[in-house]
Structure 1
Amino acid sequence: LGAALGHFNYVVPPAYRGPAVVTVHDLSFESDPKLMGRRDRLVFRTFVPRSARRAERVLAVSERTKRDLVEHYLIPEERIVVTPNGVDPIFQPNGSAPSGPPYALFVGGIQPRKDPVTAIEALARVDGDLRLVLVGDEKRGGDELRSAIRQLGLERRVELAGYVEHEGLASLYRGAACLVFPSRYEGFGLPVLEAMASGTPVVATTAGAVPEVAGGAAVLVEPGDPEALAEGMRKALGDRERLVAAGLERARRFTWEKTARRTLEVYRELL
């Protein structure tokens, strides 16, 4: 097309010959290959390093992803610009919310990297009527998840909601007792900020960029530990007022306007 500059997500098309910017969200396929299927891992490990090395600038969504790019691909730091994600204004504390028994909320694809099974195992350790609503497309691990639900006898306490549109998701965030985010690796962790912006306490892991994004406004536990996650849920429920206030303040720092402005600055540097 003769573009003056091309901006791509993860991979610069091999046939493209012009100046390029590439955004990289995370390098989970390098840090823990087991978290991605073999075919996808092969594609990402072949094309992402080539794209990052040939691009004039690499946009990383977090400082953690920037460090990973330097460590794994030896990209010079001066060619990497951190452009954090923003929070959609639809996620805010005022608005409709579901009624009924209290529930914790899981948001993310049903796959090993997001580790919904640990969320199920943690729920089994939390006494009371607390339910768990899981929102996200089923990718890999659905059978394992359903097996865990059956084995723990949690059929009445767990709801697999599948994909939910933004308006419905915003409502679910507002009504949740807490967000449970047991991810094993994140280049950013947008649900953490979406929940905070909605006035919902967050329990998350220390995986990847999550501590960077949460900024001390969430309860953080080690990944893959259902007992620690259950204890984190109890802490979040017991310290709700403080976590809500801290989360709202933290989420205000992340806007798509700031992301767009920084991205535009990169374009101007290159044109």
Structure 2
Amino acid sequence: MIAINGRFLTQGLTGVQRYAREMTRALDALVATGAAPPMRLIAPPGAEGLEAFPNLAPSLTGTRGGQLWEQLDLPRAAGGDFLLNLGNTAPVAQGRNQAVVIHDAGVFDTPESYSWKFRNWYRGLQRMLVFRGARILSVSEFSAGRIAAHLGLDAARIGVTLEGGEHILREAADAAILERHGLTPRGHALVIGTGAAHKNLAALHHAIGALGERGLTLAVAGAQDAAVFRQAGAPPAPNLRPLGRVSDAELRALYESALCLVFPSRYEGFGLPPVEAMWCGCPVIASRAGAVPEVCGEAALWFDPALPESLGEAVALLADDAGQRGALAEAGRARVQQFSWEQAAQRLLGFLPR
């Protein structure tokens, strides 16, 4: 039997946890139809949402939490079962009887985005997992190549699962967020991100300027500090709307009403927001960096992260050309048909013992 590491059910929802939740949901559905072998979900005390996985016999086990639970309690609970770890980390003691999905090589490639304790722990743990023979998986060919380079592996032996994005359509759009923040349909561009260095949000002052010249707004979901988006010493832009954290229903409304999604990140292991946006018919402007070109193909309007002014030019082009916006939206809808969680789960199963 395959056991799934359910530590993600005690963690906040970021891209990694989104992947783990949606992949587990998709595996649960495949088990229900007999398209996947029997599996069970093992979670630490305090885990929430186990009822979403009725076909995985979910259970709570152990007395610890966090890394101690994962390293000490989880391997005992897994016993002789093959262990599937979906969130970058795994118990060293499980040795080669497990697979771990490492989402990117950011702790090596963009160390400035992490504390020294975090990056040293991740680097050491991942090297130890490789040494112990764990099966390594990832979410894009780009990430597989970077992980292989840093961990001394053959990239061809790292299984690539990809991701999905149709979860954003699960809930009806909550348009109340638009009125609450003074946003109008096609009157704003959307950004999703945090202040982490590799997200490159400081480059957005060029987009803010291009939008402001046209009476348009930049709405920023997921970030609290407006200072991240402007040049040092500059006053706050009047057309900037920091939204903070938003629900999936609110995010869907933002995607569906936005002029476009602006995705300036200079390093991504996959790039989930552009895929979500494309599922909602929202045109995408993105930095040609990391795994994003692999994911978006020709369905995005690209800018050069080394030339931040090119972001302003791209925003101006899309704001002024409704035909271009429509063409990108259609290209995006076609592109994301290959990025569903069911397809990703089926790919994942191909890398696991049957």
TM more than 0.5:
yes
1:264 counterpart = 2:264: no
Aligned residue number for residue 104 of structure 2:
26
| Shift in alpha-carbon separation, 1:36–1:45, aligned structure 2, 3 A | same
- Aligned with 2:246: secondary structure? coil
**Structure 1: distance between partners of 2:288 and 2:135:** 28
Return the match for 1:5 from 76, 79, 82: 82
Letter in 2 for 1:5: F
Aligned residue number for residue 151 of structure 1:
234
Structure 1 residue 17 displacement after superposition:
4.4
Aligned residue number for residue 218 of structure 2:
132
The CA deviation string for residues 49-81 of structure 1, in whole angstroms up to 9 with x for no partner, is: 322443442111000011112222121235311
Letter in 2 for 1:242: A
- Aligned with 2:309: secondary structure? helix
| Greater RCO structure (CA 8 Å; 6+ sep) | 1
Given that 2:96 and 2:134 are in contact with CA atoms closer than 8 Å, whether structure 1 keeps it comes out as: no
**Structure 2: distance between partners of 1:205 and 1:143:** 21
Deviates more, 1:46-55 or 1:164-173: 46-55
**Structure 1: distance between partners of 2:310 and 2:274:** 18
Structure 1 residue 207 displacement after superposition:
1.2
The CA deviation string for residues 99-136 of structure 1, in whole angstroms up to 9 with x for no partner, is: 64401100122322212221134312442111111111
The CA deviation string for residues 245-267 of structure 1, in whole angstroms up to 9 with x for no partner, is: 10110111100001111212222
**Structure 2: distance between partners of 1:68 and 1:61:** 12
Letter in 2 for 1:111: A
1:175 counterpart = 2:257: yes
**Structure 2: distance between partners of 1:247 and 1:133:** 21
Return the match for 1:204 from 286, 289, 292: 286
Structure 1 residue 143 displacement after superposition:
7.1
Letter in 2 for 1:59: L
**Structure 1: distance between partners of 2:142 and 2:229:** 33
1:115 counterpart = 2:185: no
**Structure 1: distance between partners of 2:188 and 2:280:** 15
Letter in 2 for 1:12: A
Q: TM-score, normalised by structure 1?
A: 0.88
Aligned residue number for residue 333 of structure 2:
248
Q: How many residues align?
A: 264
Given that 2:173 and 2:250 are in contact with CA atoms closer than 8 Å, whether structure 1 keeps it comes out as: no
Deviates more, 1:190-199 or 1:228-237: 228-237
Unaligned runs of 5+ in 1: none
Structure 1 residue 224 displacement after superposition:
4.8
Return the match for 1:164 from 246, 260, 266: 246
Aligned residue number for residue 16 of structure 1:
94
Structure 1 residue 95 displacement after superposition:
5.3
Structure 1 residue 231 displacement after superposition:
0.9
Given that 1:181 and 1:202 are in contact with CA atoms closer than 8 Å, whether structure 2 keeps it comes out as: yes
Aligned residue number for residue 63 of structure 2:
none
1:190 counterpart = 2:190: no
**Structure 2: distance between partners of 1:143 and 1:234:** 22
- Aligned with 1:124: secondary structure? helix
Given that 1:22 and 1:55 are in contact with CA atoms closer than 8 Å, whether structure 2 keeps it comes out as: no
**Structure 1: distance between partners of 2:113 and 2:83:** 30
Given that 2:263 and 2:274 are in contact with CA atoms closer than 8 Å, whether structure 1 keeps it comes out as: yes
Return the match for 1:45 from 123, 145, 149: 123
| Shift in alpha-carbon separation, 1:19–1:218, aligned structure 2, 3 A | same
Q: TM-score, normalised by structure 2?
A: 0.69
Given that 1:236 and 1:243 are in contact with CA atoms closer than 8 Å, whether structure 2 keeps it comes out as: no
| Shift in alpha-carbon separation, 1:267–1:115, aligned structure 2, 3 A | same
Letter in 2 for 1:129: G
Letter in 2 for 1:130: L
RMSD: 2.3
Given that 1:199 and 1:244 are in contact with CA atoms closer than 8 Å, whether structure 2 keeps it comes out as: yes
Instruction: Indicate the structure (1 or 2) with the bigger Cα radius of gyration.
Output: 2
- Aligned with 2:195: secondary structure? coil
